[in-house]
Structure 1
Amino acid sequence: MPKLVTIFGGAGFLGRYIARRMAKEGWRVRVAVRRPNEALHVRPYGSVGQVEPVFCNIRDDASVRAALLGADAAVNCVGTFDKSGKNNFDAVHVDGAGRIARIASEVGIDQLTHISAIGADAGSDSLYAQSKAAGEAAVLEHMPDAVILRPSVMFGPEDQFFNRFGTLARYSVVLPIVGANTKFQPVYVDDVAQAAVKATLGQAQAGSYELGGPDVSTFRELMHEMLRTIHRRRLVLNIPFWAASIIAPISEVVDKLSIGLIPAQITGDQVRSLKSDNIVSDDAKGFAELGIKPTSTETLLPEYLWRFRPSGQFDAIKESAKNLRV
């Protein structure tokens, strides 16, 4: 009987890549999500019945226990950017992560891989970073041999980073950003998935790994790279932190008053997060220790951002046609 892995949040941005890779390794994959009917896209990742979405609410012991029953390993990919509501930072990043680790230990699962984030720090000004650090502590309390992966901002075809600004560049001549000089180390989502699979297969030592791509760039530099890729000229406008600190609470109030119909474009906690660089620490273990060569943004962005070009997939052809002489 093939081994079974339960992937919490296995239908999300990162989770789907882990699910696909685990299926290729021959494992049965249980994708634990709140809305299984919206996760049917994971089924074709393996043979019939190999990858199955199941219901799970990580705020409930019985639900988590049912999702882990019979599993040989578990991966927790669940995360949120919502600091309020039922599925807030503490409920998801701390209590949920701790619950998964505790029950995994109780049912005899030896291998747990937990997805955290670069910048997880109990002393951070950001509530998000604080909750990520608290979640790591909760996991290690019950599963001291867990593997914790801390990726920088992830990119890939379904990302909410480059795609978000690519969409904005279609309709606006200005790209407003906060923290233009803040440094990032974008990491390809499938490289993080590969690291998670190595951990699940027991090919990584217990401990924390900070995962960043091969290049470090400022927020402004990343926006210019994106604009070059989509063949558009736009003004990248830096919003000072003091101004963003005024805009953010107003944006959050509008979000609440509209019941989410007008989502907050930036929150106060995100402003605080953007004051710190999001890069791999000098003394951290990372891709090198896992034997993985990370993919650059330069290699991959043209493969999925082409749709934001003025003429989409035909943009290069039209540009070439301009050079033809009649």
Structure 2
Amino acid sequence: MNKKTTPADLFLGILALLLISVSFYQTWLGLQQIFGPASFVIALVLSLLLLFLCWMLRNAKLEGKPTGSLVGIYVFIASFCFIANFNALYTRFMKTDIYTDELRLINKSYTELENNIESKLSYKYNKMTAQNIEIKKKQMMEQIKDPGNKGIGERAQALIRDIEKLTGQKVDHLTPVGSDYEDLAERMGRQIDNMISDLSPEEQALKTDINNATLKWNKNIQELLLLSKKDKDVLSQGIIDESLAEYNKLGSRAQTVLGNEKIHFEPVVSQTQEVGKIGFAFEHAIKHFGMYQFVVLAGCILLDFVIVIIILLVTGPDNNRNNRGSVFNNKRSGNTLIPNN
């Protein structure tokens, strides 16, 4: 007589199917970076093996047989799913944060490179005065381009007077070509640069380019960070690649123009190119371990290992199954009474 399916069997079967189905999907996504289209078949095979081992483990427990070898095989196979699941889930949860950190680091790198280059340039004034003039100049340029008050208005004129006091020279008030106030701001800035600097044409061009690049990428990155999560995930890698390409060109150019003795530049490589790769997911999680990383880790353990733990804990030997057999194989023993005649 076969053992009937119990509610416990049904519950464990449905639970195993649900958990391993989710694990299958995440394993498929997590292995795509390595195996491409073949990841679907690999994930399916691994998931079917896990389901089969769950069934074998329950039967072994019911029959009172040792389960150590089956558990070992399960852990070995589930480990592959765990690694792939972690990669897929971590990438999904943390991709936006990884991109955001990289973009902010690029902004910081541009500012540091700009400051480093300007500190190595030669000026007619002492360093403190030159820095103050540079700050006033940038404020003036932004004021001239201000959409709400374009041109050399009262605030821009006040900044120009401050610059004149610092330099002891007269600043000419240039006029815009048509309504091109971007061009006006650039020409006013170059005029002040020429007043305070003692630079070669190459150094002057380098200074202008690093200033413009820093302003441009600071603006572009800030605008990108204000977008929705979906848009950031789509657009970030392109902005990162483009900004770093220009950053590396400017850094190498600065080293050539100023000389190795003045500035040492190391090209920067985007870390986000590794997003989606298994090694990067674990490396990033270890370096930035916190609540999000813990949640992803716990989720992966839940998907791949909790079902086998439940089976081992709630399943006990089935005595009816162990004692079940044919009535013809059962022998009765006892004493035979022989009457005395």
TM over 0.5: no
The structure whose RCO (Cα within 8 Å, separation 6+) is larger is 2
* Structure with greater strand percent: 1
What is the TM-score of this pair, normalised by structure 2?
0.28
* Structure with greater helix percent: 2
